[in-house]
Structure 1
């Protein structure tokens, strides 16, 4: 039997992050079975400081070499249990996937098995283990809507926890795992997925999905049709990381008090504004002083400041989408971070709105 742990010293990370930024890790452990984590973290070289957990590297920027050991979970097991209630949507299937499973592969495999819910999240780069940390979302859907529980190892206690959806404290691009970054290592995720051919309501009214389906000549779409439409839109709008280094949307859409959003939209009628339904644990989406809050389009704000297609050497903003920070070849993480800070500063100066990065920044602070 193959040993579940492989350890590499002075490991290159350029091929392990979608920005394609050159970086090296002092130690890198590939772990095929999460049950081996206690053994790994008992080693002195891995327990002197919290490790960096690395998936596909699609949601981080190396501004410097990491000074901590790196762990990559590579488990690929997916299992099924049926029937299962699906958050008030009838009966579906409960699916458990290891953290190392590639997200897009997982989404398309679920659709092939007749399970819907995740079709709007097709082609998002990354792994299943990263999905709850960031609470990934796109085209009107967030991963937390279909997550039943998250399995996570806690190095401090040596215990494996199974946290239900409420305990994960999901919020917009946020979760307990992101807020307490070094406390847990996500090892697997359980999803409750509705049967795509039953009572699953497709979400078609966000960011051009309906128009894309119409262009495809589809009047009565299936969940797979929606996924294919999302894939077509993403491929048209977003650069391929295999060709041009990037981490997808670099900036989060800012959430502001409704009064501020309304004032900005009066001054800039084309600014997209979306009402925010607050998560139970999301203090940022609702407060007693300002009442309801709204989400603004960061892409519109950045584009209005003239950044789309901008380039400083090999660090730039994609021509096709203002949210996407790109590495045209040999940009360093520091150069990319400096450009991102300039973009954010200009948006704040012009609109009075702070925008923040989605990816984790290693080796620097925002």
Structure 2
């Protein structure tokens, strides 16, 4: 089989990652239909090269040029596809912009995704990371995903249980599902919608707006206002959102830390463990607003690492490692990065 004619070579990736890291791909293909995927994986030439599936580039850190083929998923389309007695089912293609899709569901009069407003990235990437914010995670609203399996060339459907969701994790980040390419995602949105105000900061902000019983759009608008106040716009300052996961420790370890650090921010989990606030740990180690080369920690939110202009992937990695070392030295807690290093 001849190489696909639409493949481009030495393709610049700076505009395709929200960190704004300058890097090039040996080969690049903008994927607008599944036939292109089938063609790539049926071709021995392309199968022999490393492959990187890229959506919105909001959860990736490019540490250098990519020597293989970048498959940029640009599949489009969204629709209400039915439902059952309790839920509406809404499907979106993997290449749809996540925030635009959330806003579209609200325009259809469908609540359920509003707490995840303004999260950068694409619909297809949302289950991989099990994205979450303000008391909601993808696992809470996902019905099923359609995936292309390059191992046998078959397209299949996976339900939520098969996705193996955990905190900022899924089967798609593990060996068993790492090669699966998500084509579209179907969400189950409640017919009897109620605002999800379990997250204290959101509940307080909604109350301050004077909403006795907020609409889904009002909750979304409140979330958007909070995020814009706290987080940098990737179009202005390169970043990948929260760079570290909030570490989960045992109750005993948390108790020991509280004896030494009474102000420690922690949240009890259903399984008896305790989730610590990574941003607080980083801030207490003095990193908020500090720079290392052209990479830095955002002055308004210590959980966000930023590209102040011209930062390399290596500089961001060095900054992340310095932060991890300081948090470990002071608290004995390991911080795990959220973005995928490539």
| TM-score, structure 2 as length reference | 0.95
Match of 1:352 in 2: 332
State the Cα distance separating 1:275 from its structure 2 match. Answer: 2.2
The alignment yields a C-alpha RMSD, in angstroms, of 1.6
- Which of the residues 118, 121, 125 maps onto 1:126? 121
SS of equivalent to 1:97:
strand
User: CA distance change for structure 1 residues 6 and 216 in 2, over 3 Å: closer, same or farther?
Assistant: farther
How many residues are aligned here? 338
Q: How does 1:1-366 map to 2 (within 5 A)?
A: 6-84=6-84, 91-180=86-175, 182-195=178-191, 198=192, 200-277=193-270, 292-362=272-342
Distance (whole Å) between structure 2 residues aligned to residue 335 and residue 98 of structure 1:
34
Distance (whole Å) between structure 1 residues aligned to residue 130 and residue 278 of structure 2:
18
User: CA distance change for structure 1 residues 228 and 357 in 2, over 3 Å: closer, same or farther?
Assistant: same
Show structure 2 runs of 5+ residues with no match: none
8 A contact 2:57–2:121 mirrored in 1: yes
Q: 1:303-351: per-residue Cα shift (whole Å, max 9, x none)?
A: 1101000012311000010000000001100001100000011001100
Show structure 1 runs of 5+ residues with no match: 86-90, 279-291
Match of 1:284 in 2: none
| TM-score, structure 1 as length reference | 0.89
User: CA distance change for structure 1 residues 103 and 78 in 2, over 3 Å: closer, same or farther?
Assistant: same
8 A contact 2:50–2:67 mirrored in 1: no
State the Cα distance separating 1:92 from its structure 2 match. Answer: 2.0
User: CA distance change for structure 1 residues 207 and 62 in 2, over 3 Å: closer, same or farther?
Assistant: farther
Q: Which runs of 4+ in 1 moved over 3 A?
A: none
State the Cα distance separating 1:70 from its structure 2 match. Answer: 0.5
User: CA distance change for structure 1 residues 112 and 266 in 2, over 3 Å: closer, same or farther?
Assistant: farther
State the Cα distance separating 1:161 from its structure 2 match. Answer: 1.7
Distance (whole Å) between structure 2 residues aligned to residue 253 and residue 215 of structure 1:
27
State the Cα distance separating 1:265 from its structure 2 match. Answer: 2.5
